[in-house]
Amino acid sequence: MKRFSILTLLVLFAAFFATAQNYSRLLMLKKSRMNGEDVRAVQVALNNLGFTEVGEADGWFGPKTEKGVKAFQKLAGFSVNGVVNKDVYDLLVKQKSGNVMQAYLNELNQINYYPKLDLSRKTYDYNGHSAEGGEICVYKSDSESLYAEMNLCGEMGKYVATLYNVSGTNFVLVCESTTYKSHMNPDPKTDSVEYKIYYYNSGLYFNIVNGQAVDNTDNIHDLVQELKSRM
């Protein structure tokens, strides 16, 4: 009887943790904090991908976890709202993805650490096609260029394009377009923000939002070449 009870407990214990790895509910920041093994699984996955702002994986969904989720959503091409739905959970925890997305996930750990390093910065003026002009900043570790960031500002919004050098041939381009609701009056609560993420792998550009290869790469190619020329 005792042996049966121990076996039963082991089965229930294993079933509990197996269930915790499967998506079962929306996870988000609430006044009454959500907690559970699904939250802990999200926190562990975020830390493993380099989103260390989450802190300790304690199973409680607090502001730090929300911040990490938003950072992941931005780089993974999701709407940046801090809410973990099934698509976010499956990609983050279960890592259900195609070959391209899986390769991209492997790169996330690297590029997410770049801004946290003690890097030198060199700034270039940039006029480009913007009447307001802007600048390109190149961030280096010793003599190696890790990423370049273009900032263009206008009266009705701003545009930031960041090129991450993740290997000799692969790179990630993150484009962030912000439209102000009021003229020359940025407000994070009302601004409209759109992200586009492109991953260059095996000679092709992939749109991270849908995982598909991008056919018309002229504009992307020109932007990438401009940033690479500064690195």
Q: Are 183 and 156 in contact (CB under 8 A)?
A: yes
Q: What local confidence, expressed as pLDDT, does residue 16 receive?
A: 41
In one letter, which amino acid is 72? F
Give the pair of three-digit tokens for residue 181.
Answer: 């609701």
pLDDT class of 115 with cuts at 50, 70, 90: confident
pLDDT for 65-81, tens place per residue? 999 999 888 888 788 89
Tens of pLDDT, residue by residue over 90-103, are 888 887 666 777 77
Q: DSSP letter for 143, please.
A: T
Gap between the Cα atoms of 72 and 108, Å rounded? 9
| Amino acid occupying residue 154 | G
Burial environment of residue 198 by CB neighbours within 10 A (0 to 12, 13 to 18, 19 or more) = buried
Q: Is the pLDDT of residue 57 over 90?
A: yes
- Asked whether the beta carbons of 164 and 177 are under 8 A apart, the reply is no
CA-closest candidate to residue 200, choices 147, 164, 227: 164
Token pair in block for residue 213:
């290869």
pLDDT average, residue stretch 187-201: 84
Beta-bridge mates of residue 138? 122, 148
Which residue in the block uniquely carries the two structure tokens 């099934």?
86
